[in-house]
Structures are given as C-alpha cells and as structure tokens.
C-alpha cells in the first residue's frame, strides 16, 4: 500500500511539474510572436527613417539648385531660363519642403527610441519565458575608437577571413605598424 501511495504521489508531482513547463513554452511562443512583431515594427521604422534621410538630402539639393538658378537669374535676367514659380517665391517652397521633411525625420527618430526599447523588452521577455540567453550570443562590439578608420574599412570588407590571411592582405593596404595595431601582434 505504501509503495502504491508513493507511486501516486510521484506521478502527481510529475504531472504538476509538467503543467508549468507547458505553460512556459506557450509563453515562449507568445513571446517569440511579440518579438517578431517588435522586430517588424523596428524594421519599418528604420526603413522610414532611411527614406526620410534620403528625402531630406534631395530637398536640400533642390533648394541648392533653386538658389543657384535664382542667382544666375539675378546676374543675367534676360538670358536666364528660370521658372516663373522660382521667380515668384524665391525658393521658399523648397525651404518649406525641407523643413517639413526635417520635422518628420526628427519625429520619426524620437519614435524610434520607443520602438527599439520595445524590441529590447521583447528580447528580454523571450529570454525569460524560453529560458534561453539570446544576448549571450550577440556579437561583441569592439571598444569605440579602438580601431582606425583604415582598419575598420579593411576588416569590414573581409568578414570571415582567417586572421593569418588578414595579416598577409593587410600589408598591401597599411603599414606594418598599422597592421599590428589593427590585427594585433602575430604569435611567435
């Protein structure tokens, strides 16, 4: 009878342990869905910022061209082919378009902060619910300012190349001292 009671107690205990594990995996799946949504939103925000940055550069260039056209017109009013709209508003439309785009970009960059905080929170939630340390597998960033721009360009253009090959290739682009600073001293 005691053996039967012990078996029932152990079975009940194991079934109770199984319930939280199932609930944990459901939370893990839900967390991964939330992470996917947060990553998609962060991706969309990054794309919007990149688009606004490109538009800002284009608007600045439009204003610069307008000002140059206006200057040419002021120098030679009779032969300068200037648009009537430019003559009327003196490039004010380009300035307004630039400022509007600049405000939208600033607003989107501010919003990106909260989007990326939500993404970081989703990563932490997945780590907790899935019991898997995602951040432990993130690539380590080198200390800021530790590599020269030439070194960063050199290494950035050759991802995955073994260090021995990098040492050989490096001397074609940098001095021996720069290579040593970039790649470290070779082992003896």
Q: Which of 5-14, 30-39, 110-119, 147-156 has the lowest mean pLDDT?
A: 5-14
Position 71 pLDDT exceeds 90: no
Q: pLDDT of 14-42, one tens digit each?
A: 433 443 454 588 888 999 999 999 999 99
DSSP annotation string for 66-92: HHHHHHHHHH-TTT----HHHHHHTTH
Average pLDDT over residues 121-130: 87
Position 185 pLDDT exceeds 90: no
Q: How many residues does the chain have?
A: 188
Position 188 pLDDT exceeds 90: no
| Predicted local distance difference test score (pLDDT) of residue 33 | 94
| Predicted local distance difference test score (pLDDT) of residue 15 | 39
Position 137 pLDDT exceeds 50: yes
Helices 92-130 and 2-75: crossing angle, nearest 10°? Answer: 170
CB 56 within 8 A of CB 95: no
Q: Which two tokens stand for residue 139?
A: 């690539």
CB 170 within 8 A of CB 184: no
Position 132 pLDDT exceeds 70: yes
| Predicted local distance difference test score (pLDDT) of residue 173 | 85
Q: What is the pTM of this model?
A: 0.55
């Amino acid at each position: 009878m005691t053996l039967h009671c012990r078996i029932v107690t152990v079975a009940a205990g194991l079934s109770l342990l199984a319930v939280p594990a199932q609930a944990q995996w459901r939370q893990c799946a839900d967390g991964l869905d939330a992470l996917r949504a947060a990553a998609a939103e962060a991706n969309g925000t990054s794309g919007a910022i990149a688009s606004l940055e490109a538009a800002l550069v284009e608007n600045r260039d439009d204003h610069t061209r307008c000002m140059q056209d206006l200057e040419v017109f002021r120098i030679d009013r009779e032969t300068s082919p200037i648009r009537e709209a430019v003559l009327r508003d003196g490039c004010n439309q380009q300035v307004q378009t630039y400022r509007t785009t600049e405000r939208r970009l600033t607003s989107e960059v501010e919003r990106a902060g909260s989007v990326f905080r939500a993404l970081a929170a989703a990563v932490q939630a997945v780590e907790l619910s899935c019991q898997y340390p995602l951040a432990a597998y993130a690539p380590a960033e080198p200390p800021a300012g530790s590599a020269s721009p030439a070194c960063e360009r050199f290494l950035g253009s050759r991802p995955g190349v073994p260090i021995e090959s990098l040492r050989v290739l490096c001397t074609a682009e940098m001095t021996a001292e720069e290579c040593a600073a970039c790649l470290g001293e070779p082992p003896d």
